[in-house]
Amino acid sequence: MILLIGEEGKYLRIIDYKSSSKNIDLNEVYAGLQIQLLTYSNVICKEEDFMPAGVFYFSLLEQIVNSEKKVSDEEIEELIRKNFKMKGLILADVKVIKMNDTTLQSGSSKIVPAGLTVSGDIIEKWTSGVNKEEFKILQDYIDFTIKEISKEIMSGNINLKPYNKNGKTPCEYCSYKSICGFNVKQKDNNYNYLDKQSKDDVILKMKNKIEGKV
């Protein structure tokens, strides 16, 4: 957890250090599968009256540089630094991007998933971000999801519904496979197939769900 101090108040940045390479997938957030970092951010922002600046993953994987041509020590260092760039979701606000990477003037940040033009505008294709309104929808959706999950638990719903993302499921490596009895050939045993929708579509789906339109 890192605090960034801006003119409008305090911004909160959450970083999760992982031993693997991980990124935020809003489709997984929608399915309630990737809500950990956003939940931390939500709770602390509410408790302390902070604004969210982003949620990031920092990979601790050992970096190996493969290059066919001879490269200098400086180039190796640069390549390693590039591989350590954080992934995740940033608040798409120029001031916040610059607070997250104080060295960034223009181009792609070497630290966070964001880029700026020479004139200081956000470069969308280099930025994994959401604006303030979208971040608010995300925060509300996290609250909504936690309440829904709580209701399901309290009502005793223990239906088996493992996710299926492009054919990948948690069942592959699950230790409880032999006892859980999940079998798609059985009635009511289905995967929770994850969509692959754009950021805008997922955010709209979240908004509609919170408002009870779906």
- Our CA angle for 92, 116, 27, nearest 5°, is 40
Q: Would strands 129-130 and 163-164 be described as parallel, antiparallel, or unpaired?
A: unpaired
Q: Where are the alpha helices (DSSP H) in the chain?
A: 26-30, 36-48, 73-83, 94-100, 132-154, 177-180, 199-210
In the complex, the smallest distance separating the C-beta of residue 170 from ligand SF4, rounded to whole angstroms, is 4
Site size toward ligand SF4 (CB under 6 A) is 9
In the complex, the smallest distance separating the C-beta of residue 131 from ligand SF4, rounded to whole angstroms, is 36
Nearer to ligand SF4 by Cβ, of 107 and 170: the residue is 170
Please name every residue paired with 10 in a beta bridge, in sequence order, or none if there are none. 5
Candidates 40, 84, 144, 182: give the one binding ligand SF4 (CB under 6 A). 182
In the complex, the smallest distance separating the C-beta of residue 172 from ligand SF4, rounded to whole angstroms, is 8
In the complex, the smallest distance separating the C-beta of residue 158 from ligand SF4, rounded to whole angstroms, is 10
Binding mask 148-177 toward ligand SF4 (x if CB under 6 A, else -) reads ------------x-x-------xx--x-xx
Helix (H) or strand (E) holding 14: strand 9-18
Whole-angstrom distance, CA of residue 43 vs CA of residue 29: 16
Binding mask 79-118 toward ligand SF4 (x if CB under 6 A, else -) reads ----------------------------------------
In the complex, the smallest distance separating the C-beta of residue 171 from ligand SF4, rounded to whole angstroms, is 3
Please name every residue paired with 91 in a beta bridge, in sequence order, or none if there are none. 130
Residue 6 binds ligand SF4 (CB under 6 A): no
Q: At what angle do helices 132-154 and 199-210 cross, to 10 degrees?
A: 50
In the complex, the smallest distance separating the C-beta of residue 191 from ligand SF4, rounded to whole angstroms, is 9
Nearer to ligand SF4 by Cβ, of 3 and 174: the residue is 174
How is 78-97 classified by DSSP, letter by letter? Answer: HHHHHHT--EEEEE--HHHH
Nearer to ligand SF4 by Cβ, of 122 and 171: the residue is 171
Interface residues with ligand SF4 (CB under 6 A)?
160, 162, 170-171, 174, 176-177, 180, 182
